[in-house]
C-alpha cells in the first residue's frame, strides 16, 4: 500500500495508531514534491521547514494524548487565492502586488486549528478566471493522468487538483465560482465539492465574483471531503454570507445508503455537448445508483444548459472586470493578454445589464425550483469532455461551464466524484442538491464509493519514492 495515496481519513487513523509520525509523513511528501513537482508544477511555493515544525508539534501533542482530532498531523495545500500569514497571495498573476498577508484566511486557520499541516500553496489560473487550468504567466500545472501527453488539469483550482491526484498531498483547498473545484477534480480523477454559499467563510480569500464564490475541499474520497467540510464550516466574521446560516454535519447519515431517494437527471438531448465516452460512463453510473435502490428519473431541463452557462458567465465577467480592470488597463499591464481580453467584455456591461442578469437569474431559479420538486438530487456529468492537450488550449473556448455553472447560478451544492475512465482519462458525475443540503450530496456520493470499492485510482508513474518505502511496509503489516 502506497502511503502517498492513502486518504486523509486513513492517514489520520494510521497516525493515531502510531504506525508512523506526522514528521515522517510530511518528510515523505516533501520528497515526492521535490521529485515530481518540477514536471507537474502544482506548487507555487512549498513551506518545507514550517511544515516539518508543525508536524513535530502534532507528534508532540499526540505523545501527550492531546491530539486535536482525526486530522491532526495530516498535510494539506491551499490554492494561491488563500491568504497565508507572512506570504503574498498572488492569485496566479504577475500583476498582483507582492505583499505579505498579515493574517491567514479563515479556511486555512480552521484547518490549522485541527492540527493539519500546511505544506504549501498551489497554482491557479490567473485571478481564477478560466476553466482549462492554464496559466502562461506563472506556469500551468500538468495533469498527472497521462504520462505521454501533457494535458490540461482543469481550472481554476488547477494546482490543487494535480497535487491531490499525484499523491503530493491528500487534501487541498480550492474555490468554485463556475466549476473551479469541480473542473480539475473531474479531469484529474479526484473528489471535489462546490459547497453551499455561506457554509464556509471566504475571509482572506481573494474573490473573483462574490455572487458565486465558494470554498471547497478537494480530496481522494467522499469520506475525506465530508470530514474536511465539517472542519471548515462555521460563521466567519469576515464574510457576512455566513451569518446566521443553518449548518448540518456533512458526515451525518454518510453511510445510510440511497434506497428510496429520487435522483433526477436531464434528458440525453440536454447533454448533447458531452463526448460519447463521458455519456457512456454516465449511463453506467445511473445504472449503479438504480441498482442500489435509488429511483432514477429522466426529465428535460427547463432551459438548455448553455443558457444557464451564458448567464453565469455574464455575472462573473461583470464582477471580475469591476475588480481587476485597474490591473488590466494599467500601462504595460502584466495581466495575460488572453485573460485581459476575455475579462474586458465587462467594459461594455452597464448597471442596467447587470440588473437584467439579476432578474433573469430570479426567473430561472423559480423555474428550477419547480424542476427539483419531488427529487432529492439532480445528476449530470461534471465535465462534457476529458482532459485535452495543453498545447493550444489557453486560447480556445473552454466548454466546462456548460455543465458546471448551473450549480452556481441556481445556488446549489454540487459534489463531483470520479465515475470511471473514458479512453484512459477520468470522467466525473456531479451530484447537485438544494442549498444547505450538502450532507445529502455526500451520502449519495459515498454510496457509490462503497459500491465500487473506492472511486479514486492512483495515476501510473507516480509510485513510491524512497522515504515512503518503509512507511508503506509499516502500513501493509498493520493492515
Instruction: Please compute the mean of the pLDDT values over residues 87-95 and round it to a whole number.
Output: 98
Residue 476 pLDDT grade (very low, low, confident, very high; cuts 50, 70, 90): low
63 is known as an active-site residue: no
| pLDDT-above-90 percentage for the chain | 95
Nearest-angstrom CA–CA distance, 53 and 459: 30
Q: Which residue has the cell 510530511?
A: 26
Q: How confident is the model at residue 228 (pLDDT cuts 50, 70, 90)?
A: very high
pLDDT of residue 436: 98
pLDDT digits (tens, 9 = 90+) for 374-412: 999 999 999 999 999 999 999 999 999 999 999 999 999
Determine the Cα–Cα distance for residues 113 and 418; give it in Å rounded to an integer.
Answer: 30
Confidence (pLDDT) at 474: 65
Kindly report the average pLDDT of the chain as a whole number: 96
The active-site residue, picked from 7, 22, 79, 221, is: 79
Of these residues, 180, 196, 221, 416, which one is catalytic? 180
CA 257 from chain centre, in angstroms, equals: 24
pLDDT of residue 469: 64
- Which of these is catalytic: 156, 157, 221, 472? 156
pLDDT at 466: 59
Residue-level pLDDT at 418: 98
CA distance 479 to 464: 18
pLDDT digits (tens, 9 = 90+) for 101-158: 999 999 999 999 999 999 999 999 999 999 999 999 999 999 999 999 999 999 999 9
pLDDT of residue 472: 63
CB 223 within 8 A of CB 454: no
Asked if the model's pLDDT at residue 467 lies above 80, the reply is: no
Supply the pLDDT for residue 463: 79
The pLDDT value recorded for residue 309 is 98
Residue 465 has pLDDT above 90, yes or no: no
d(CA 418, CA 426): 7
Query: Between residues 182 and 472, which one has the greater pLDDT?
Result: 182
Indicate if 180 belongs to the active site: yes
Contact 243, 234 (CB under 8 A): no
| Model confidence pLDDT, tens digit, residues 427-459 | 999 999 999 999 999 999 999 999 999 999 999
What is the Cα–Cα distance from 214 to 174, expressed in whole angstroms? 9
Q: What pLDDT does 205 receive?
A: 98
- Domains of the chain, by residue range, sit at 3-478
- With a cut of 60, say whether residue 479 has pLDDT above it: no
Show the CA angle centred on residue 139, arms to residues 138 and 142, nearest 5°. Answer: 155
> pLDDT tens-digit profile of 340-374?
999 999 999 999 999 999 999 999 999 999 999 99
Residue 79 annotated in active site: yes
What does the alpha-carbon distance between residue 345 and residue 122 come to, in Å, rounded to a whole number? Answer: 28
Model confidence pLDDT, tens digit, residues 152-175: 999 999 999 999 999 999 999 999
> Grid coordinates 450530496 are at which residue?
441
Q: What's this model's pTM, rounded to 2 decimal places? A: 0.96
Among 27, 428, 3, 433, CA closest to 218:
428
Percent of the chain with pLDDT over 70: 96
Q: What is the CATH number of domain 3-478?
A: 3.90.1300.10
pLDDT at 1 > cutoff 80: no
Give the residue-averaged pLDDT of 65-73.
Answer: 98
The predicted structure's pLDDT at residue 175: 98
Model confidence at 307: pLDDT above 70: yes
**Mean pLDDT value across residues 30-36:** 96
Distance CA 398, CA 153 (A): 12
Q: For every residue of 127-172, which 3-state class applies, written as one string?
A: HHCCCCCCCCCCCCCCCCCCCCCCECCCCCCHHHHHHHHCCCCCCE
Amino acid at each position: 500500500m502506497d502511503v502517498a495515496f492513502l486518504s486523509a481519513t486513513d492517514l489520520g487513523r494510521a497516525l493515531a495508531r502510531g504506525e508512523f509520525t506526522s514528521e515522517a509523513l510530511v518528510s515523505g511528501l516533501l520528497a515526492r514534491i521535490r521529485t515530481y513537482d518540477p514536471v507537474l508544477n502544482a506548487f507555487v511555493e512549498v513551506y518545507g521547514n514550517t511544515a516539518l515544525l508543525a508536524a513535530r508539534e502534532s507528534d508532540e501533542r499526540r505523545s501527550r494524548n492531546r491530539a486535536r482530532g482525526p486530522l491532526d498531523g495530516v498535510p494539506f495545500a491551499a490554492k494561491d487565492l488563500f491568504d497565508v500569514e507572512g506570504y503574498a497571495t498572488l492569485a496566479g498573476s504577475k500583476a498582483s502586488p507582492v505583499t505579505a498577508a498579515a493574517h491567514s484566511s479563515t479556511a486555512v486557520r480552521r484547518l490549522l486549528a485541527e492540527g493539519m499541516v500546511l505544506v504549501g500553496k498551489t497554482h491557479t489560473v490567473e485571478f481564477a478566471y478560466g476553466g482549462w487550468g492554464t496559466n502562461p504567466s506563472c506556469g500551468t500545472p500538468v495533469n498527472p493522468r497521462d504520462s505521454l501527453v501533457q494535458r490540461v488539469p482543469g481550472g481554476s483550482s488547477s494546482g490543487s487538483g494535480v497535487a491531490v491526484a499525484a499523491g503530493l498531498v491528500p487534501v487541498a483547498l480550492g474555490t468554485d465560482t463556475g466549476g473551479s473545484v469541480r473542473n480539475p477534480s473531474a479531469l484529474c480523477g479526484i473528489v471535489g465539492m462546490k459547497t453551499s454559499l455561506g457554509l464556509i467563510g471566504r475571509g482572506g480569500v481573494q474573490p473573483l465574483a462574490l455572487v458565486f464564490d465558494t470554498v471547497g475541499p478537494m480530496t481522494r474520497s467522499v469520506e475525506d471531503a465530508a470530514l474536511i467540510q465539517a472542519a471548515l464550516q462555521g460563521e466567519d466574521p469576515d464574510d457576512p454570507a455566513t451569518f446566521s446560516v443553518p449548518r448540518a454535519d456533512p458526515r451525518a447519515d454518510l453511510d445510510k445508503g440511497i434506497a428510496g431517494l429520487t435522483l433526477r437527471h436531464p434528458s440525453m438531448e440536454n447533454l448533447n455537448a458531452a463526448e460519447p465516452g463521458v455519456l457512456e460512463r454516465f449511463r453506467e453510473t445511473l445504472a449503479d445508483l438504480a441498482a442500489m435502490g435509488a429511483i432514477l428519473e429522466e426529465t428535460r431541463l427547463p432551459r438548455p444548459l448553455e443558457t444557464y452557462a451564458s448567464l453565469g458567465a455574464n455575472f462573473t465577467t461583470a464582477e471580475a472586470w469591476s475588480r481587476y480592470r485597474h490591473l488590466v488597463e494599467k500601462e504595460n499591464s502584466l495581466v495575460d493578454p488572453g485573460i485581459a481580453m476575455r475579462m474586458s467584455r465587462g467594459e461594455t456591461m452597464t448597471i442596467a445589464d447587470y440588473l437584467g442578469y439579476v432578474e433573469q437569474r430570479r426567473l430561472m431559479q423559480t423555474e428550477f425550483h419547480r424542476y427539483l420538486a419531488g427529487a432529492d438530487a439532480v445528476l449530470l456529468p461534471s465535465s462534457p469532455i476529458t482532459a485535452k492537450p495543453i498545447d493550444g488550449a489557453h486560447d480556445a473556448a473552454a466548454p466546462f461551464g456548460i455543465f458546471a455553472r448551473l450549480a452556481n447560478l441556481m445556488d446549489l451544492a454540487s459534489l463531483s466524484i470520479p465515475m470511471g475512465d473514458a479512453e484512459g482519462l477520468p470522467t466525473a458525475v456531479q451530484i447537485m442538491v438544494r442549498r444547505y443540503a450538502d450532507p445529502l450530496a455526500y451520502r449519495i456520493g459515498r454510496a457509490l464509493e462503497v459500491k465500487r470499492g473506492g472511486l479514486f485510482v492512483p495515476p501510473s508513474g507516480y509510485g513510491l519514492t524512497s522515504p515512503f518505502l518503509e512507511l508503506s511496509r509499516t502500513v501493509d503489516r498493520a493492515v
